[in-house]
């Protein structure tokens, strides 16, 4: 296993937030494309074009796998700082 996770946990919070923001934006883009694929597949399936429906299923499956792979790189949650008791 690489040292990515340990390096990420030791990184400055600003860098961690930047990585997390980039990953979340990529995931939003991938889910939006999957919704577009769903719309296209349903339209073509209703018009008896099952070849296009199967192709969009394959593309959506590939995007889902990429999305799950990207989830691995989200940073671990940071522990909450405890407030000093008075």
According to the model, what pLDDT value does residue 77 have? 72
pTM over 0.95: no
The structure tokens 């690489």 sit at 2
According to the model, what pLDDT value does residue 75 have? 74
Q: Are 9 and 75 in contact (CB under 8 A)?
A: yes
b/e 15-33 (16+ beta carbons within 10 angstroms → b): ebeeeeeebeeebeebeee
Query: Each residue of 4-60: pLDDT tens digit?
Result: 666 666 666 666 778 888 999 999 999 999 999 999 888 888 888 888 888 998 999
Query: Each residue of 47-77: pLDDT tens digit?
Result: 888 888 889 989 999 999 999 999 888 877 7
């Amino acid at each position: 296993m690489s040292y990515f996770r340990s390096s990420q946990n030791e990184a400055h919070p600003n860098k961690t937030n930047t990585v997390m923001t980039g990953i979340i934006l990529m995931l939003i883009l991938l889910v939006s494309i999957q919704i577009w694929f769903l719309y296209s597949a349903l339209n073509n399936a209703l018009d008896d074009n099952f070849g296009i429906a199967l192709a969009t299923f394959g593309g959506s499956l590939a995007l889902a796998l990429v999305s799950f792979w990207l989830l691995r790189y989200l940073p671990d949650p940071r522990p909450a700082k405890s407030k000093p008791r008075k």
